[in-house]
Chain A
Amino acid sequence: MTQSPVLSVTDLVVEIPTRRGVLRPVDSVSFDIAAGEVLGVVGESGAGKSMTGSAVIGLIDPPGRIASGEVRLNGARIDNLRPSEMRRIRGKRIGMVFQDPMASLNPLLTVGDQLEETIQVHLGLRRAEARKRAIAALEEVGIPAADRRIDSYPHEFSGGMRQRVVIALALAAEPEMVIADEPTTALDVSVQAQIVALLRRLCRERGAAVMLITHDMGVIAETADRVAVMYAGRVVEIGPVREVVGAPSHPYSVGLMGATPSTSGDAASERLKQIPGAMPRLLSIPSGCAFHPRCPRAFDTCDREAPPLLRSGSSLAACWLCSPDHQHLVQSATLPEAIE
C-alpha cells in the first residue's frame, strides 16, 4: 500500500440545508483506498456511509452538497468538476453497485439494452461491438447462456442473478474504482456470499479499488482489507480488518462487534450485546464526541471536545482513550462487562 491511492478523500463535509438548520450527514471524513484494495465502511443506518459513497461519485441529491474537503481519483480532484465532466467519470472510472437489484434495473428495458447503452456511452463502440462486449460481461459475472439471456428483461432474473447483472453494468467500462452500497443486503443469505466473492474477484482481477458499504460484519470480515467505522457522519475508527474486527479500539466499534452474532462459541449461553440508546439525529448531535452519551467509558473530556483520529496499534481511532494523556484510564479500566 505504498503506491499512491486510487481514491483519496480528505476532510469531506456534506451539508444539507433544511428549514430547521444545516445538517451534516458527512463530517470531516478522510480515507484512502489503494488499487486492488477493499475498504469496508460500516456503521448503523444514518451514519453517513451511503452519503459518503454518493459524494464520491457526485450523486448527492440537491439541496445536499459537498461543503468542503477534497475527493481525488488517482491524484486528480473530482469533487469540483462540471456535471458533464463528472458524467464521464461515472460509470467509466467509478462504477457503483446499489443495494436493491430489484429496483436498480429499468424494468422496461432488456438487460442487453442497458448494458449496450452503458458500453456505447463510455467506450464509443458500435452497436454490434457493444453487444459482443455485453455478452462477455454477462458471462464474466456468471450468467449462464449469456448470449440468450441478454435479451431477457430484469423481471425474468432472480435476485442474485439481477445483482450479477448490476455488477456487470457497474464494471462494464472497466472502472478503476467501485463503490458497492450494501450490495448484499437485499439478497438471500445463500446468495450473499457468492455475490461478495464475485465482486471481490472481479475487482481484484482488474486492480480496482473497492469501497464496500455494508452493515454486515460477516461480509466485512471476509472481504475487506481495511475497515472504516462511521458514527454520526464521522469516521470513528479506521484500520486493518483483523484489528478493527478482532480488537477494536473505539468503544463504538467494540459495541458494534459485540452486537454481531457469532456462530463460534457457546451461542446459547451468550446473549447478543446491544449498544444502549440510539444514534443521535443529525439536528441534535451531542457536543464533543458524538458517541459520549452512549459510551460506557465516557469521561469529562468527552462531552467538551471532539477527539481527532489517534493512533491505536495499526489503526486510527477517534477516541480520547487512545490519547497518551489518558492511557492511565485505559489501564485502570475494568471494562469487559461494561458494554451490555
Chain B
Amino acid sequence: MLAFVIRRVLQALGVLLVVGFISFCMFQFMGDPVEGLLGQEATEEQRRELIERLGLEDPIPVQFVRFVGNAVQGDFGLSYRLARPVSELILERLPATLELAFVSAIIAMALGIVLGVFTAINRSGFAANFIMTASLIGVSLPTFLIGILLIYVFSVQLGWLPSFGRGETVEFFGWRSNLGSWDGLRSILLPAITLGLYQMTLIMRLVRAEMLEVLRQDYIRFARARGLSERAVNFGHALKNTLVPVVTVTGLQLGSIIAFAIVTESVFQWPGVGFLFIRSVEFVDVPVMAAYLLLIGALFVVINLIVDLLYFVIDPRLRSDRAGSH
C-alpha cells in the first residue's frame, strides 16, 4: 500500500508540473507583463530595470525553473491589478470558496444518497417517479439560472434569505467562517444549494442506478433468504456496496465544485477565489490567473489521491495483501 501511495504521489507531482507549465505559458503569451506592471507612461529606463529584475531576458527553461521554484515557496509574484502578492490575495479568499464548496458538497451528498436510495427501493412508486423526473430539471438547468431563480423566489419574492455576499462571518483560528453565525448560515444557504444542485441530482441518479444493480446481486437474495429485515438488507448490505463508485464520483465532483464555483460566486457576489479569478480575467491579471490554475490543479490532484485511499477503507478486497498476513 505504501508503494501505491508513493506511486500516486509521484504521478500527482507530474500532473502538477504540466499544469505549472501551462500557467507559465500564460505569462509568455498573454500580453506584456512589463506594460501590465508599469503602464504606458513608463520610461525606457524603468522598463529595462524591470525586465532585468523579472529575468525576462533569460532563456525560457531558466525562467520556468525559477517559476516553479517560486511557486513551490508560495510566491506567485505581484498582482498587476492590485499590486499585492498573489498568494496573499488567494489565501484571503480561499476560505470563502472552500467553505461554500464543502457546504454544497455535504448538501449534495446527504440529499443525493437519501433520495437515490429512496428512489431505488420504491422503484415504481409515485414519489420516486416524481423525484426522478424533477431531477432531470436539476441536471439540465444551467447553474447561473438556478441561482437567479433561487434569488428571485427566496430573496425577492419571499424575502427570507439574503441575495448576495457572505453576511456576518466569525473568525476561528484565522479562518473566517460563515458557519458561526445565524446571518452567515443564511447567507451561505442559497449559493450552496445553487452550487450543489447539479451534483446532488448526479449523485442521486448514480446511487439509484448502483443500488438497483446491487439489489440484483446474489448476496442480497441470500441476505433475504437468511431472514434479515428489509432495513438490514437495504442499508447494511446494499448501500455499502453502492458507495464505492459513489465515493469516486463525489470526490471528483468536489474538485469541480471548487473549480466551477466561479459562476455561483459571480451570481451571488461571493468573495471567493472564483470571483477573484473572474475579475482577474477582466483585467488580464496574469499572475492571479496562473496561481488560480495551479491551485485548482493541486486541489484536483489531492482530492483524487484521497479518493484512491478511500477505496482501501471501503473495499477490503483491495487490502488483501495486508489482511492476508494476519
Query: Which A residues fall within an 8 A CB radius of B?
Result: 57, 59, 87-92, 95-96, 98-100, 103-110, 117-118, 121-122, 152-153, 155-156, 166, 169-170, 172-173
Contacts and interface: CB of A to CB of B under 8 A. Distances in A.
Given A98-B218, A155-B317, A156-B323, A106 B237 contact: yes
A91 B232 CA distance: 14
Nearest to B240: A108
Given A87-B227, A103-B217, A108-B316, A96 B232 contact: no
B225 A107 contact: no
Given A95-B226, A156-B324, 8 more contacts: A103-B219, A104-B218, A106-B219, A118-B228, A153-B320, A155-B320, A156-B320, A170-B226
Which residue of A90, A108, A155, A170 has the most chain B CB atoms within 10 A of its CB atom? A108
A223 to B, nearest CB: 21
A118 B221 contact: no
A173 B227 CA distance: 10
A31 B299 CA distance: 66
Nearest to A107: B317
B127 to A, nearest CB: 18
Interface residues of B, number: 24
B224 interface: yes
5 contacts: A90-B224, A91-B225, A91-B228, A117-B226, A153-B323
B241 A108 contact: yes
A107 B316 CA distance: 8
A99 B89 CA distance: 63
B221 A59 contact: yes
A121 B227 contact: yes
Contacts of A107: 219, 241, 315-317
Given A106-B241, A108-B315, A92 B218 contact: no
A121 B232 CA distance: 10
Given A108-B314, A152-B323, A155-B317, A121 B241 contact: no
B222 A98 contact: yes
B128 to A, nearest CB: 15
A114 to B, nearest CB: 8
B201 to A, nearest CB: 26
Given A103-B219, A153-B316, A59 B224 contact: yes
A118 B241 contact: no
B226 A118 contact: yes
B225 A59 contact: yes
Contacts of A166: 222
Interface string B232-257: 10001100110000000000000000
B296 interface: no
B225 A121 contact: no
B223 interface: yes
A197 to B, nearest CB: 22
B213 to A, nearest CB: 13
Contact of B225 (A96, A100, A108): A96
B225 A90 contact: yes
Interface string B300-326: 000000000000001111001001100
